[in-house]
């Protein structure tokens, strides 16, 4: 595991200390690693959505109504 030295602004440092003092986390390092893990998961979801949107845009546009699209989706889902 890599070791880093980082600096925090006063409000961020106070927030980190409060989280550790509340025993939510055992150390600032554990908290920072958890925050990074959450950010990575969020980025993965964003990337997945962006890829789906690109695929949808490439598939073209439709003149179908919302009701038609919904009915078609339900038909596909229900088999």
DSSP secondary structure of the chain: ---------HHHHHHHHHHHHTTSSSSHHHHHHHHHHHHHHHHHHHHHHHHHHHHHHHT------HHHHHHHHHHHHH-
Task: Tell which wins on pLDDT, 4 or 30.
Answer: 30
Q: Residue 79 above 80 pLDDT?
A: no
pTM to 2 decimal places:
0.67
Give the model confidence (pLDDT) of 55-65 as tens digits: 989 988 889 99
CA-to-CA distance for 70 and 10, rounded, in angstroms? 51
**Percentage of the chain exceeding pLDDT 90:** 84
Q: Residue 40 above 90 pLDDT?
A: yes
Distance of CA 73 to the CA centre of its chain: 26
């Amino acid at each position: 595991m890599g070791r880093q030295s980082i600096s925090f602004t006063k409000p961020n440092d106070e927030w980190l200390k409060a989280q550790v003092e509340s025993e939510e986390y055992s150390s600032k390092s554990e908290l920072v690693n958890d925050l990074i893990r959450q950010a990575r998961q969020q980025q993965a979801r964003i990337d997945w959505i962006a890829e789906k949107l690109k695929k949808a845009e490439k598939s073209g546009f439709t003149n179908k109504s919302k009701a038609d699209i919904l009915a078609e989706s339900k038909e596909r889902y229900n088999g």
